[in-house]
Amino acid sequence: MKRHLFTLLCVLSSPLWALDAPDQQRLNSIQQEWAHIQYQLPAEQRVDAFEKLAAQSSAFTQERPNVAEAWIWSGIVTSSWAGAQGGLGALSKAKQAKADLEKALALDPDALQGSAYASLAALYDRVPGWPIGFGDTDRAQPLLEQALKLNPDGIDPLYFWGDHLFRQGHYAQAKVALEKALQAAPRPGREVADSGRHKDIQLLLVYVNKKLK
Q: Supply the pLDDT for residue 93.
A: 97
pLDDT tens-digit profile of 138-167? 999 999 999 999 999 999 999 999 999 999
Q: Where are the domains of the chain?
A: 22-150, 152-213
**Tens-place pLDDT, residues 72-122:** 999 999 999 999 999 988 999 999 999 999 999 999 999 999 999 999 999
What average pLDDT does the structure give for the chain?
92
**CB 126 within 8 Å of CB 97:** no
Helix (H, G, I), strand (E, B) or coil at 42: coil
pLDDT in the model for residue 18: 57
pTM (two decimals):
0.90
State how far the Cα of 118 lies from the Cα of 124, in Å rounded to an integer.
10
Q: Which superfamily does CATH assign the domain made up of 22-150 to?
A: Tetratricopeptide repeat domain (1.25.40.10)
Angle at 151 between CA 93 and CA 185, to 5 degrees: 105
Q: For 34, what's the count of Cα atoms within 13 Å in the CB-facing half-sphere?
A: 26
Grouping H, G, I as helix, E, B as strand and the rest as coil, residue 135 is strand
